[in-house]
Amino acid sequence: MNHTVFFFLLVQFASVLTASAQEYERYKLLLDTTITSKHLGYDRDITVTVPFEWQQNVDKDFPVVVVFDRQNQRSHNYIINTIDYLTSNEQMPSCIIIGIDSDQEHRYKETLPLATSKNGLAEANEGFLFEELLPLAERRFKASKFRLFIGHSRYGYFTTGLLRSRGNELNGVISLSPFFHEKNVHLTDSVAVVLGTERTSTLYYRFGIGNDYPEDFHTMDSLIHTKRNNHFNVDGKLFKDADHNATPGLVIAPALYDVFEYWSLQQSAYMRGEKGGHAAVQELVENIEAHYGQPLGLSLGVLNGKGWECFNKEQYHEAIEAWNVMLTHYPNFSEAFLYMIEAQLALSEDVTANATEFKKNLATSAMYTEEEKTELLAELQRLTGK
């Protein structure tokens, strides 16, 4: 069987299983849990969703996307499905997605600053996120320090405020139907401060507003078009007749695309390049890290695709190198060894070492079901006769 087809069939098979269970193509639910917050003084319920290549005992971390208001299932599920769609189409990297509940008893105070009310918990909520949740995600869920926050309505307001207070610890904020003004708090002033701050990497801010806060939109839009900062990439969109609860669906896909467009362009450069080796990937990885301030590896699909591009051109040495590069980024993708074996056979090389490594890798990989592992071992038998 042609290995490109084999990989496609396996991914499609896995996708059907995953989709039927979780309704995602590239992601799986890791856990639902509760965190007792010392900063807030009460429990927060969270859901952790991870990409299919995530594995606890593999040394690979992933950027983290925090999505607030998990209790609003319609918008929350739509956002995660959009992330899944863009990831499946190589338009954004595989991420760890953390959904956070806010019950009606606490939601208002969680987003209310002390400057507005002495009962406000926004600062405590900030402490929960940056001193409790994110460190926990790094320790337990293999989250990297690349962080994107997505918030709607009051959490759009709250996440916008974090641009000033935590801008150096964030890579992006997407605010859906935010407002920008409360008593003693003017977030347009906060964004103006960020626009005037020197940075060495790019911070992204996208906001979309419907028919609820058009005046706030025009105030912010005027600011961002009169004051520029090459490292603060900010833009907004007004949907003048859209209802408050419609804006998440209208805003999220283009906003996510904007944040990860540079990453996607670097991947495209790799596919257009003549070579697929470590040096070519390293240069692009360095470009990405310089732009975002945090590393974002290339996707499994692109790294694998480069190997097959070289293979189909009968550039077998280059194909082997490309798949070795893929294994450094995705060490539990056992099929890479089968691909290299096929290239080695075309070169009349000894495949014993890669056959041994394949079996060892497959035994510990969590990317495959037992049925898939059996099929892969049968493929090794077909290729090598042993």
Query: Is residue 360 scored above 70 in pLDDT?
Result: yes
Let me know whether 32 and 131 are in one domain. yes
Q: Is residue 88 part of a domain?
A: yes
> What pLDDT sits at residue 22?
52
**With bands split at pLDDT 50, 70 and 90, how would you rate the model's confidence at 9?**
very low
CB under 8 Å to 240, separation ≥6 — which residues?
210, 211, 214
Q: Is residue 138 part of a domain?
A: yes
Domain limits for position 325:
299-384
Looking up residue 238, the CATH number of its domain turns out to be 3.40.50.1820
Let me know whether 303 and 170 are in one domain. no
Looking up residue 367, the CATH number of its domain turns out to be 1.25.40.10
Let me know whether 97 and 211 are in one domain. yes
How many structural domains is the chain composed of? Answer: 2
Let me know whether 256 and 352 are in one domain. no
State the average pLDDT over residues 111-121. Answer: 97
> What pLDDT sits at residue 386?
73
Q: Is residue 371 part of a domain?
A: yes
Q: Is residue 31 part of a domain?
A: yes
Q: How many residues does the chain have?
A: 386
For the entire predicted model, the pTM comes to: 0.92
Q: Is residue 218 part of a domain?
A: yes
CB under 8 Å to 252, separation ≥6 — which residues?
78, 79, 82, 150, 174, 176
Query: Is residue 7 scored above 60 in pLDDT?
Result: no
d(CA 160, CA 176): 10
CB-facing half-sphere around the CA of 155: CA atoms within 13 A: 27
Let me know whether 42 and 99 are in one domain. yes
CA angle, 57 then 59 then 61, to 5°: 110
For tokens 């890791």, the residue is 30
How confident is the model over 133-175, as pLDDT tens digits? 999 999 999 999 999 999 999 999 999 999 999 999 999 999 9
Let me know whether 241 and 100 are in one domain. yes
What percent of the chain shows pLDDT beyond 70? Answer: 94
φ/ψ bin of 174: left (φ > 0), alpha (ψ from -120 to 50), beta (otherwise): beta
Nearest to 256 by CA among 45, 382, 90: 90
Let me know whether 55 and 137 are in one domain. yes
Identify which has the larger pLDDT, 365 or 104: 365
Let me know whether 44 and 118 are in one domain. yes
Q: Is residue 338 part of a domain?
A: yes
Let me know whether 84 and 222 are in one domain. yes
> What pLDDT sits at residue 275?
63
> What pLDDT sits at residue 280?
87
For the chain, give the mean pLDDT. 92
Among 209, 234, 262, the domain boundary falls at 262
How confident is the model over 259-304, as pLDDT tens digits? 999 999 999 999 988 666 788 899 999 999 999 999 999 999 999 9
